Amino acid sequence: MSNFALASLDSANIIILSQLHFFALLSMFYNMLIRFFRCSAF
């Protein structure tokens, strides 16, 4: 029972970490686009 709980908790942590990684990459890409448009505008 405890092994199953630990396994499910581990998989949930992996899912959360992958989502955080995805959002971090998305925000980095978004900032890069904003910087590019700002440089091209001025």
Distance CA 15, CA 19 (A): 6
Predicted confidence (pLDDT) per residue in 11-34, tens digit: 888 888 889 989 999 999 999 999
Distance CA 13, CA 3 (A): 15
Q: Nearest CA to 17 among 29, 9, 5, 7?
A: 9
Distance CA 25, CA 15 (A): 15
This prediction has a pTM of: 0.53
Whether 1 shows a pLDDT value over 60: the answer reads no
Distance CA 25, CA 21 (A): 6
